[in-house]
Amino acid sequence: MNSGDLLNEVKAKAQVWLEGNYDKETKAAVKNLLENDEKELIESFYRDLEFGTGGLRGIMGAGTNRMNIYTVGMATQGLSNYVLKNFKDLNQIKVAVAHDSRNNSRLFAETTAKIFAANGFKVYMFDALRPTPELSFAIRYYGCQTGVVITASHNPKEYNGYKAYWDDGGQIIAPHDKNIINEVLNIRSVDEVKWDGDESAIEILGHEFDEIYTDKIKGLSLSPELIKKYKDMKIVYTPIHGTGVKLAPMSLAKLGFTNIIHVPEQDVVDGNFPTVHSPNPEETAALSMAIAKAEAEDAELVMATDPDADRVGIAVRNTEGKFVILNGNQTAALLINYLLTKWSENGKLKGKEYIVKTIVTTELLADIAAKYKVPHYDVLTGFKFIADIIKQKEGELTFIGGGEESYGYLAGEFVRDKDAIISCSLIAETAAWAKSQGKKLYEMLLDIYVEFGFYKEDLISVVKKGKEGAEAIQQMMKEFRNNPPYSINGSTVTKIADYQYGELKDVVNNTSSAITLPKSNVLQFFTGDGSKISVRPSGTEPKIKFYFSVKTKLAGKADFAKVNAELDERIENIKKSLGIG
């Protein structure tokens, strides 16, 4: 399609919005685009905002390719139609709805709840913003058939999203994901949406439910005696203007921690995230205010959750007493090591327990699990796949914990998504455990490296925005798939895993075997020196991600700086070898 045809097509779609059953404000915004901003008009209407395998996520505004009450409404009607088909024998279908702190999140949540009610569903909706994992818990607690949380996680402030869950409390997976997409695609007009539900069908959840949720988290504690001993350990916590603002401190206090230090400026609930460039705990700048507070207060631990409080980033003092930010793999290693050690010491390991990690998460977790003879399962990137393993093994095996490199972790089985409220509580408990041994968390991490090997990981995200960006990302994946590197940083590529085609190719022996995981647009390259490079487009953001993992021995803590520098250099050389350095 040439540019003239595309422009004519989007103008025709925009005209439908001007003439249809849309509110005055929306029509005014569309009219302004038609008259004054051709480029933004194309971006807003060149496609329908895709209801992907996790739901919707996009920039807010008027148009078919934007997050607004109409795209949210059509998605909800499609989801409702699918739920009605799947649970037609139930006398009462139940759903749960939650939202984060983003601009328009409450509006989108109320819109969703009313449409669910109009379809005859019993709706449980929180009275205000709540963490995404609490929505997962509510679905399970109330026996709901589906649920929705309005959130764009850690995306920039102009974004919002719509994430759908199934009756196990996990995010939608196959076959429901594709089937729901088809139902949503079948909604061709806003006139097909049942907008006005009976509000008496909507039950509001408040503080009482928070108590139930945090009581369950308290039940995960493995060292209450250590918390009691080190209850006044100074912990700085920030929700970065998001949903963890009440629940994280509440859960920490319920476990017994009494010295939680806030960052007042970031306790302010604000979808503009005024104190940070990006509310992403993966980014160093997002923790800068909390670290400054920790320095001023002489605190030992910093924790920061993203806007929907399903992910957490932490900073700890190194051997010189300076704060350093740990990456997601390092925090996962500390947490899994603590859980498995305490489960073993407390006599809870019976031979029927397991952990789960994603394919791009550090192999260190597998090594730690092997020490305790606890099986581990690898799944595709995305916590919905971890939740699916828990569902498959429920009643047969016990899930201890799991995580992914992108700062998402979970323990226990009562939530089926990554949970920063649980994670904050158990990370603080891990810090108390380290303290009981006269160590900082950082020193404990070094001990893990000495015992299991020094794993070093890095991640590069190449951002490609808009229509042209999406096409560029697909072209990059095509190039890597059709013309793979056979040597990276001077080391021979020995294996190539292509999850799109379900094939693991042994390059050395020229043989292939099947990958049993679901199909996904992911490539992995394994080299003779033990490096692992993974490439995948983000499923939620306009970027392509490159994951790097290298490993070597660490003879002792004194060698850390030297070996760390060597591994950094190896990773940088790998990036240059691939042309992305």
- Would you name the residues annotated as active-site residues? 153
Q: What span, in angstroms and rounded, lies between the C-alpha atoms of 195 and 111?
A: 8
Which residue is listed with tokens 């994670």?
423
Q: What span, in angstroms and rounded, lies between the C-alpha atoms of 245 and 307?
A: 9
Q: What span, in angstroms and rounded, lies between the C-alpha atoms of 168 and 166?
A: 6
Task: Reply yes or no: is the peptide bond before residue 279 cis, omega within 30 of 0.
Answer: no
Residue 551, C-beta contacts closer than 8 angstroms, at least 6 positions apart: 363, 453, 454, 455, 456, 530
Task: Retrieve residue 250's tokens.
Answer: 């509440």
Helix then strand then coil, in percent of the chain rounded to 5, is: 45, 20, 35
CA angle 122, 126, 132 (to 5 degrees): 105
Which residue is listed with tokens 């828990």?
390
Confirm if 210 and 250 have CB atoms less than 8 A apart: yes
Residue 360 C-beta-side C-alpha neighbours within 13 Å: 28
Confirm if 456 and 562 have CB atoms less than 8 A apart: no
The alpha carbon of residue 420 and the mean position of all alpha carbons in its chain are separated, in whole angstroms, by 10
**Which ranges of 303-457 does DSSP label H, i.e. alpha helix?**
328-345, 364-371, 383-393, 420-436, 441-452
Q: What span, in angstroms and rounded, lies between the C-alpha atoms of 251 and 231?
A: 13
Fill in the amino acid letter for 525: F
Task: Retrieve residue 211's tokens.
Answer: 């108590």
Task: Retrieve residue 277's tokens.
Answer: 């460039």
Confirm if 555 and 456 have CB atoms less than 8 A apart: no
- Indicate the SS3 state at residue 282: coil
| Closest to 165 (Cα-Cα) out of 148, 184, 182, 185 | 148
| Closest to 336 (Cα-Cα) out of 353, 321, 320, 319 | 353
Q: What span, in angstroms and rounded, lies between the C-alpha atoms of 323 and 303?
A: 12
Helices H / strands E in the chain, number of each: 18, 23
